[in-house]
């Protein structure tokens, strides 16, 4: 991935005032040179997600469908020289795709409308390298149209992936010509398929036939998306959602959605696109610590920029028959869920259709069993059986009402809080679920869950950030007296939901 100079302080200007002026949001803030540390922390605590960012975060689970000529050549990256006629999924059933993900608890799907090989899953009038020249439906088919219709039928969000890198286009190395071509194709996708909920870009950028790499005009593309699909989230090479940094499905143990605004942010993400990145305690944006006090106190601005955690259910992103028996197990998917959704992220799970145009039975089986495990685990919130009280603040019962919009907050001047749970009989639990009301900001910096053993309090588990959701699993604890202590927070903490569960598997 590469970026252009007009990305300088992209996240302070968010591309241009005209694009974002209509959004009355506070997902960015300037920091003045005269601001005290206390004022910077106050500003950070009040940075909020935009409406589209909040909707996206609440999805929790989104799916990727990698499908195209690579499915039929058994490759991961095509070279753009494929004969379109090889694309012929004789049993294509996109309703099976969407239904599978819906039943597994997913809320949105993203289709690879065009990957790096340039083959389009819709009959684009700007290229011959598309389904219109395939044997499938005698060139009259449109996969994008069918997936959009299936999403509408199942009330699922619909998104498109459009690769900026196009290894088929003869003028790819010419920035002016290619950027207009890309914008034309993007316009087709945004205009012809109803509501688009997410547009997903990576920044992969190879050399074209002229030996040059084009400079992508993201600025114009973003403006186009905001014009034609104003509610669409732009990820992960975009201003709404960032890439977490690996394709493992595992996010950071400390994940802040409020980050320093930095002109190098997109460049760092771009340079490591589609590569495994090791989190190191350094100043780069792939580091383990991106948004702690030590980071934001030296920032020139702050922006709400949440993390998407992507991984494939198989080793590859496209379907390969030799991987049919290497599908991630339900237990592995559960572990990934805790380390992605449970670490203030959204999980983007790739489930690639096979050459017949169906989700393979092994993938379906694993997804169903994983969904069963999640539903079984979170069926009974043991915290609801407790008498709940708080040392300060108000509305503590809101943490058990199942409504994200209601929340407990400590007294305005308190950056710590203690929530007590008392039971008549001991309960056994080994999973903690916490949610902040991120609609008003992300604040909690450190917390601990304790239980009373005799006359002393002992630690069951502890953590740093919460954000939209934090899930922690630990050794089973049996107790009658339990307490959650917020040890540090940016302003007074707000807790929307609190859950204790007992996992027997």
Q: Are residues 394 and 264 in the same domain?
A: no
Question: What's residue 288's pLDDT?
Answer: 82
Question: Which residue in 293, 294, 291 sits closest to 303, CA to CA?
Answer: 291
Q: Parallel, antiparallel, or unpaired: how do β-strands 494-501 and 408-409 relate?
A: antiparallel
β pairing state of 345-350 and 307-312: parallel
Structural contact between residues 408 and 395, judged by C-beta atoms closer than 8 angstroms: yes
Q: Are residues 413 and 270 in the same domain?
A: no
Last residue in a domain, options 323, 357, 377: 377
pLDDT grade for 500, boundaries at 50, 70 and 90: very high
What are the DSSP calls for 417-476, one per residue?
Answer: EEEEEEEEEEEEEEEEEEEE-GGG---EEEEEEEEEETTEEEEEEEES--TT-EEEEEEE
Write the DSSP symbol of residue 330. H
Q: Are residues 128 and 171 in the same domain?
A: yes
pLDDT for residue 285: 56
Position 262 scores a pLDDT of 61
pLDDT in tens, 439-486: 999 999 999 999 999 999 999 999 999 999 999 999 999 999 999 999
Task: Give φ, ψ of 308 to 5 degrees.
Answer: -105, 135
pTM above 0.85, yes or no: yes
On whether both 460 and 352 belong to a single domain, the answer is: no
- 112 in Cβ contact with 74 (< 8 Å): no
Q: Please list, in sequence order, all residues whose beta carbon lies within 8 angstroms of the beta carbon of residue 44, skipping any fewer than 6 positions away.
A: 29, 258, 296, 302, 441, 490
Q: Are residues 108 and 242 in the same domain?
A: yes
d(CA 197, CA 360): 26
List the beta strands (DSSP E) in 102-215: 108-114, 157-162, 198-201
Grade residue 505 by pLDDT with cuts at 50, 70 and 90.
confident
52 SS3 class: helix
pLDDT at 277 over 50: no
pLDDT for 361 equals: 98
Number of domains in the chain: 2
Domain boundary among 334, 362, 377: 377
Between the two ends of the chain, the Cα-to-Cα distance in Å is: 41
Residue 411: the pLDDT is 92
Give the pLDDT score at 21: 32
Mean local confidence (pLDDT), 237-247 = 91
Q: Among 167-176, 223-232, 283-292, 390-399, which is the least confidently predicted range?
A: 283-292
CATH of the domain at 467: 2.60.120.260
Q: Are 31 and 12 within one domain?
A: yes
Instruction: Specify the pLDDT at position 504.
Output: 83
| Per-residue pLDDT at 268 | 45
Say how far apart CA 249 and CA 338 lie, in whole Å.
Answer: 10
Are 349 and 374 a contacting pair, CB within 8 Å? Answer: no
Same domain, 210 and 141: yes
Confidence of residue 269 (pLDDT cuts 50, 70, 90): very low
Q: Quote the pLDDT of residue 203.
A: 84
Domain range for 404: 382-501
- Work out the pLDDT band at 38, boundaries 50, 70, 90: very high
When pLDDT is averaged across residues 190-206 and rounded to a whole number, the result is 95
Segment 224-230 shows an average pLDDT of 97
pLDDT-derived band of residue 282, with 50, 70 and 90 as boundaries?
very low
The Cα-based distances of 2 to 5, 217, 266 in angstroms read: 10, 11, 8
Identify the band that residue 2 occupies on the pLDDT scale cut at 50, 70 and 90.
very low
The pLDDT tens digits of the residues spanning 143-164 come to 999 999 999 999 999 999 999 9
Question: Domain check: are 317 and 452 in the same one?
Answer: no
Per-residue pLDDT at 410 exceeds 60: yes
End-of-domain residue from the set 377, 411, 446: 377
Query: Which domain CATH number covers 320?
Result: 3.20.20.80
Q: What is the mean pLDDT of the chain?
A: 90
Q: Are residues 303 and 402 in the same domain?
A: no
Three-state DSSP at 352 gives coil
Rounded mean pLDDT, 175-204: 96
Contact 129, 118 (CB under 8 A): yes
Residue 355 burial (10 A CB sphere; 0-12, 13-18, 19+)? middle
| Cα–Cα distance for residue pair 112/348, rounded to 1 Å | 13
More confident call, 138 vs 263 = 138
- Return the residue matching tokens 């237990």: 331
pLDDT tens digit sequence for 348-385: 999 999 999 999 999 999 999 999 999 999 999 999 99
Q: Are residues 318 and 345 in the same domain?
A: yes
Average pLDDT (78-88) is 97
pLDDT of residue 18: 30
248 & 305 share domain: yes
Question: What is the model's pLDDT at position 30?
Answer: 87
Residue burial 318-328, b: 16+ Cβ < 10 Å; e: rest: bbbeebeeebb
pLDDT at residue 272 greater than cutoff 60: no
pLDDT score at 5: 29
Please indicate, yes or no, whether residues 348 and 408 belong to a single structural domain of this protein: no
List pLDDT tens digits, range 48-75.
999 999 999 999 999 999 999 999 999 9
Give residue 1's pLDDT.
Answer: 32
Instruction: Name residues whose C-beta falls within 8 Å of residue 358's C-beta, 6 or more positions apart in sequence.
Output: 91, 92, 93, 96, 97
């Amino acid at each position: 991935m590469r970026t252009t100079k007009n990305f300088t302080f992209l996240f302070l200007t968010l591309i241009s005032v005209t694009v974002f002026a209509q959004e009355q949001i506070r997902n960015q803030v300037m920091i003045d040179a005269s601001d005290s540390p206390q004022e910077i922390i106050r500003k950070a605590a009040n940075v909020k997600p935009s409406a589209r960012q909040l909707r996206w975060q609440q999805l929790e689970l989104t799916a990727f469908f990698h499908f195209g000529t690579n499915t039929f050549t058994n490759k991961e990256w095509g070279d753009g020289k494929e004969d379109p006629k090889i694309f012929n999924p004789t049993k294509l059933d996109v309703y099976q795709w969407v239904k599978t993900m819906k039943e597994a608890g997913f809320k949105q799907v993203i289709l690879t409308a065009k990957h790096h090989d340039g083959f389009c899953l819709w009959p684009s009038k700007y290229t011959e390298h598309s389904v219109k020249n395939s044997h499938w439906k005698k060139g009259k088919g449109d996969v994008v149209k069918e997936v959009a219709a299936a999403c509408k039928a199942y009330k699922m969000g619909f998104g498109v992936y459009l690769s900026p890198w196009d290894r088929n286009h003869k003028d790819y190395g010419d920035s002016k010509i290619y950027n207009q071509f890309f914008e034309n194709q993007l316009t087709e996708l945004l205009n012809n398929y109803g509501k688009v909920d997410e547009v997903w870009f990576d920044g992969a950028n190879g050399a074209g036939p002229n030996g040059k790499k084009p400079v992508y005009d993201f600025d114009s593309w973003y403006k186009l998306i905001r014009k034609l699909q104003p509610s669409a989230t732009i990820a992960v090479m975009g201003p709404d959602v960032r890439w977490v940094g690996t394709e493992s499905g595992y996010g950071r143990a400390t994940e802040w959605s409020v980050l320093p605004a930095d002109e190098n942010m997109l460049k760092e993400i771009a340079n490591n696109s589609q590569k495994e990145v090791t989190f190191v305690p350094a100043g780069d944006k792939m580091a383990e610590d991106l948004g702690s006090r030590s980071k934001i106190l030296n920032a020139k601005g702050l922006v709400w920029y949440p993390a998407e955690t992507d991984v494939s259910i198989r080793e590859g992103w496209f379907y390969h028959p030799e991987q049919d028996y290497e599908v991630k197990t339900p237990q592995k998917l559960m572990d990934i869920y805790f380390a992605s959704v449970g670490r203030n992220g959204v999980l983007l799970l790739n489930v690639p259709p096979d050459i017949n145009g169906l989700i393979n039975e092994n993938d379906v089986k694993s997804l169903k069993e994983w969904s069963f495990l999640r539903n079984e685990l979170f069926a009974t919130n043991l915290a609801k059986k407790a008498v709940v009280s708080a040392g300060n603040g108000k509305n503590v019962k809101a943490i058990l009402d199942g409504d994200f919009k209601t929340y407990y907050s400590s007294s305005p001047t308190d950056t710590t809080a203690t929530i007590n749970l008392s039971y008549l009989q001991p309960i056994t639990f080994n999973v903690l679920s916490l949610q902040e009301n991120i609609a008003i900001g992300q604040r909690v910096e450190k917390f601990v869950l304790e239980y009373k053993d005799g006359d002393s309090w002992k630690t069951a588990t502890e953590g740093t950030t919460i954000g939209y959701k934090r899930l922690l699993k630990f050794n089973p604890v049996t107790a009658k007296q339990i307490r959650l202590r917020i040890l540090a927070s940016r302003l007074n903490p707000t807790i929307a939901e609190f859950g204790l569960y007992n996992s027997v598997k």
